[in-house]
């Protein structure tokens, strides 16, 4: 395995407000991704991994000798676990968190004993510094909702795709009908009693973004199905 390290941000702090959160080592060290052995017992992560395998089987996705791009890769846990015996040509993995992609990703790749070339990049996935390369498979696992400019991201994905490229976007937040009903009810109560001048910042009836507001600290945006389809 040959690992190449790149930093497209060159140490600069991107204007995104979530920069500080994702690059705060004190916060990162308290998360489960620092403990590789425990990850395979995490139900949420294993549910996503099972879906990846299901998609691979259902759509006959061939990995061998393919060039793979993973955007918002984090520590590369999904990628390293999935690709370890599939012999891709190369994995290019991009993430905003330097600690995750330059430190934890290396540990994760070694843990799974990967045997292919890897390029680990800290960078902005809406501004990919790759000019003359196309990828056979492009992944976004548990990360699309962290992107503040989804249309710009899709344009980048299209630019890096060839005619036969497979694109997998998976692991997006799911809100059940019960959760939606609970949030809707709470919204209505706050509106009726004008809790802490609630009406001044909210319209009625509420739309999806009123019920599932963006978390600017970590950069989470909760899109509804219509928005995803668009």
109-161: pLDDT as tens digits: 999 999 999 999 999 999 999 999 999 999 999 999 999 899 999 999 999 99
Sign of CA pseudo-dihedral 192, 196, 197, 201 = negative
Omega within 30 of 0 (cis) for the link into 101: no
Sign of CA pseudo-dihedral 147, 73, 125, 123 = positive
Average pLDDT score over the chain: 91
Burial of 123 (0-12, 13-18, 19+ CB in 10 A): buried
Q: Assess whether pLDDT exceeds 80 at residue 15.
A: no
Asked whether the whole model's pTM tops 0.75, one would answer: yes
Task: Give me 61's structure tokens.
Answer: 């996705």
């Amino acid at each position: 395995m040959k690992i190449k390290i790149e930093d497209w941000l060159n140490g600069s702090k991107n204007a995104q407000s979530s920069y500080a959160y994702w690059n705060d080592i004190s916060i990162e060290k308290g998360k489960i991704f620092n403990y590789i052995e425990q990850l395979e017992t995490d139900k949420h992560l294993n549910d996503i991994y099972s879906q990846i395998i299901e998609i691979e089987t259902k759509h006959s996705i061939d990995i061998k000798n393919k060039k793979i791009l993973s955007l918002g890769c984090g520590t590369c846990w999904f990628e390293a676990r999935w690709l370890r015996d599939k012999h891709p040509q190369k994995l290019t993995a991009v993430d905003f968190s330097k600690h995750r992609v330059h430190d934890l990703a290396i540990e994760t790749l070694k843990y799974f004993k990967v045997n292919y070339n890897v390029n680990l990049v800290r960078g902005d996935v809406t501004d990919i510094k790759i000019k003359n390369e196309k990828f056979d498979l492009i992944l976004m696992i548990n990360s699309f909702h962290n992107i503040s400019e989804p249309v710009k991201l899709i344009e980048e994905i299209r630019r890096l795709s060839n005619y036969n490229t497979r694109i997998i976007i998976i692991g997006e937040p799911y809100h059940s009908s019960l959760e939606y009903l609970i949030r809707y009810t709470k919204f209505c109560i706050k509106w009726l009693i004008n809790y802490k001048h609630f009406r001044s910042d909210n319209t009625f009836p509420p739309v999806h973004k009123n019920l599932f507001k963006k978390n600017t600290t970590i950069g989470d945006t909760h899109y509804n199905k219509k928005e995803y389809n668009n």
